[in-house]
Structure 1
Amino acid sequence: MKLISLITPEVNLDSLSRICQHDDAILLRQDAVYLCLSPHLSWPVKKLYALQTDLTVRQLQQPDGITAVSAQQWVELCSKATQNILWQK
């Protein structure tokens, strides 16, 4: 599993989908959690996470289909991943 972290809401999902495999996961961090406000996005993976502290700071609710994770759970996800990728546009 690759863990792909997004930190900005400007993301090209077509480009992102080219590197995604079935068992990969995406983690929304920093301003990328604003993507939670777009429930109709077609994500290229089934496992979608958002950092709880970033949701809280931005006063966003955890949407259906996205799992909020703590900092400790984020570290656990990183340790389970075969690759950790910071995706920028």
Structure 2
Amino acid sequence: MKLITLIHPKLSMDEFALICQPDDGILLRQDAVWLSIRQDLCWPVQHVYALQSDVLLRKLKVPQSVTVIDDEAWVTLTINADQVLLWQN
């Protein structure tokens, strides 16, 4: 499993989907947490996470399809991932 981190809300899903496999995880951080409330996106993976501190700072209510995680869970995801990537457009 790859853990792919997004930090910007600007996203070309066609380009992004090329690097994703269904068992990968996406972590939304910083302003990318705004992507969690977009209903027009179809994520190319089964697991989408958002960092709790970023969600709280922006006062978002994320859908149940996105798992909100704390820093400890973030570290665990990173340790368990085969590869950790930062996606920048």
TM-score normalised by the shorter chain: which range applies? over 0.9
Task: Report the secondary structure of 1:86's partner residue.
Answer: strand
Query: Do residues 18 (structure 1) and 18 (structure 2) align?
Result: yes
Task: Report the secondary structure of 1:54's partner residue.
Answer: helix
Name 1:52's counterpart in structure 2.
Answer: 52
- Please identify, of 35-44 and 51-60, the stretch whose mean Cα deviation from structure 2 is larger: 35-44
**What is the CA–CA distance in structure 2 between the aligned matches of 1:62 and 1:52, rounded to whole Å?**
10
Partner amino acid for 1:2? Answer: K
Task: Report the secondary structure of 1:33's partner residue.
Answer: helix
Name 1:83's counterpart in structure 2.
Answer: 83
RMSD over aligned Cα, in angstroms? 0.8
Instruction: Give unpaired runs (5+ residues) of structure 1.
Output: none
TM-score by length of 1: 0.96
Instruction: Give unpaired runs (5+ residues) of structure 2.
Output: none
Partner amino acid for 1:45? Answer: V
Identity %: 48
**What is the CA–CA distance in structure 1 between the aligned matches of 2:19 and 2:62, rounded to whole Å?**
26
Offset, 1:61 = 1.1
TM-score by length of 2: 0.96
CA contact (8 A) 2:36 2:63 kept: yes
- Structure 1 runs of 4+ aligned residues shifted over 3 Å read none
The aligned length equals 89
- Please identify, of 47-56 and 36-45, the stretch whose mean Cα deviation from structure 2 is larger: 36-45
